[in-house]
Each structure stands twice: as structure tokens, then as C-alpha cells.
Amino acid sequence: MGRTHKVLVVEDEFLIAMELRRTLTEAGYDVVGPVASVSDALSLLQQSHPDACVLDVNLRGQTACPIAEVLRSMKVPFVLSTAYSQNEIDTHAALAGASNIGKPAPRQDLLQAVAELVG
């Protein structure tokens, strides 16, 4: 049996974060976080090297760009979960090209996207 993959969840809406954690935990992932702010995510990434990340774009009024930049530098694949349109996402260089499972994200889309990231 392979090792359990660590998935960082960055989401500032606590009820959605709870659901993400629950869905991923039930699917056998080791959830890191959830964290709700850019600063908390960056602190956590100094201590932990997740295998993948589910990233909200708007975190209490701040964009998740600094997190995306660090994730890219650490070669941690990530998927966005945001209600923003692709055009709006693509205006941020750090987020451009990242796939977005949307919000609300269907459970199957979330699990499939994370499986592809760690696969």
C-alpha cells in the first residue's frame, strides 16, 4: 500500500473548508490545514511539503498569488476552487493556466482533480 498523500487546503470560508477536509479525509488523503489566509498558508509551507494543494483565490480580500508562486517554486501541483471566471483568474500571472474545479465544486470533480495532481 502506497503512502498517504498530503493535500494542503487553503479556503477562508470555514464551512467550505470543513467540507473539503471531510471529503478529502474520507477519500484517504492526509489534509494539511485547512488554512484561511495567505500568511497562514505561507507559514505552513515553510514547515510542510504537501503533495498537492486545493487553493481558493480570494482569501479575505487578498489574492492567493503569493501562495501559488511558492507552490510553483516548491513544485507542488495545485488546483483552484473559486467562483471567479477563467478570464478573471488569467489576469493573475501566478494563477494563469491553473485548472479550476469551481465553487461550489462537485465532490467528484474535487476528488478527480486531486487524484490527477498526486497521480
The x, y and z cell numbers of residue 48, run together, are 510542510
Of the two residues 5 and 21, which places its CB atom closer to another protein in the complex?
21
The x, y and z cell numbers of residue 80, run together, are 483552484
Of the two residues 49 and 107, which places its CB atom closer to another protein in the complex?
107
Of the two residues 88 and 90, which places its CB atom closer to another protein in the complex?
88
- Amino acid at residue number 64: A
d(CA 42, CA 45): 5
User: Can you give the binding site for another protein, defined by CB under 8 A?
Assistant: 12-19, 21-22, 34, 36, 58, 60, 82-85, 88, 102-105, 107
Q: Supply the minimum distance, in Å, between the C-beta of residue 79 and another protein.
A: 15
Q: Supply the minimum distance, in Å, between the C-beta of residue 43 and another protein.
A: 12
The helix (H) or strand (E) run that includes residue 12 is none
Q: Supply the minimum distance, in Å, between the C-beta of residue 38 and another protein.
A: 14
Of the two residues 30 and 72, which places its CB atom closer to another protein in the complex?
30
Q: Supply the minimum distance, in Å, between the C-beta of residue 88 and another protein.
A: 6
d(CA 34, CA 36): 7
